[in-house]
Amino acid sequence: MARFFIDGGTRLSGEVRISGAKNSALPIIAAALLTDKKVVLKNIPDVYDVRTMIQLVEHLGASTHFKRNVLIIHASRLKRLEAPYDIVSRMRASYYVLGALLARAKKAVVAMPGGCAIGPRPVDMHIRGLNALGAKIEISRGCINADGRNLVGRKVDLQGPKGTSVGATINVMLAASGAAGTTVISPAAVEPEVLDVADFLKTLGVEVSGHGSHRITIKGGNVFREGASYTIIPDRIEAGTFAVAAAITRGRVLIKSALSEHLTSVLEKLIEIGVKVTFKDEGIVINGRGSKRATNIFVAPYPGFPTDMQAQFMALLATVPGTSTIKESIFENRFIQAVELMRMGADITIEGDTAVINGTPTLSGTDLMASDLRASSALVLAGLAARGKTVVSRIYHLDRGYERFEVKLRRLGAKIKRGR
């Protein structure tokens, strides 16, 4: 099993280029199944989840070629309409083929999804949205069996107990692309990845409007043009992770190709803590030197503070003087990294959905066990700042969403290597 070996205490310095957004790439790869023409996708990150999604669309009958972050997909004919458990169990985002298959083939069988162990993420809202379009869905033997022969554009309400759902919004968008008539999704998620999917659908000829607001309108039907070429947006979570890496090591890093408008809440918190943030034509400069102060974070759907950045900030706040709090309002089990951080000397108390963090002068390197994708990155960041040696095991979690993470860190001066 691969591990990271880290010698902590080095200030990061230099520049890093951010890869394409994993959470855009996955649904857009699924959306390429909508057309029987060739699709060229650029800036696709070479991460494990992307490789899994490529394997899934190949299983369904698409031919693919992936090299140097360019992915060519040609689903001229779908050979299968079933997404099997052995693939879907590795990655929750596999369920995006559900909406795409309903639009293209009017039928789909998709195993119930897997993913990180960060709390229950039911597919109820996906099913409710697809039912609203006229799909008939049954769950049997761990699979979602869907019949989309009667898909019709309608009003789709995706309001859930914790707001709307990014995944459900995207799945309904994909299905609505093949539904007769006009679909209105309200409330819709407004995350940048939702906008990215909508913009890709427009390159296929789908009439989409309102994306970026909580009301998305799609005029469906088989209107797909002669193929498409599209460039994925930069990954805002990777950009945020490297911003925290600069802050926690008290270093100075230029983050290139990141879109600052996608990082507003993250950058605002860094500034509040005492990190210097400078915007330049070539990117965002994060300067972590100087005194720091505690803060309070409330995790919320976009444009609020992202749940995918909560773990990294917990590691950072563990090194900031004073008492900070993080309230997690989206996932129930997303403080798993706290136990490992406490093994490094962090002073963290979990009180229900709130973590109380008393900053300590130094963390101590030790052996750590990663539990999910973002927790993995948080432990690596803590190891970079800690005194002594840190070993992070089960880094396959991290490989799901970060492209050449340790390589990029080494270029910034980090003493980190991969081994067994």
Catalytic sites, residue numbers:
116
Strand partners, 324: 357
Q: Give the residue ranges of DSSP H helices in 320-369.
A: 337-343
Strand partners, 231: 42
| CB contact at 8 A, 86 and 96 | no
Separation between Cα atoms, residue 381 and residue 375, nearest integer Å: 10
| DSSP per residue, 379-410 | HHHHHHHSBSEEEEE-THHHHTT-TTHHHHHH
Separation between Cα atoms, residue 312 and residue 337, nearest integer Å: 9
Residue 120 three-state SS:
coil
Element (H, E) at 19: none
**Taking Cα atoms as reference points, which of 273, 200, 199, 221 lies closest to residue 243?**
273
| DSSP per residue, 163-207 | B--HHHHHHHHHHHTTSBSEEEESS----HHHHHHHHHHHHTT-E
Residue 33 three-state SS:
helix
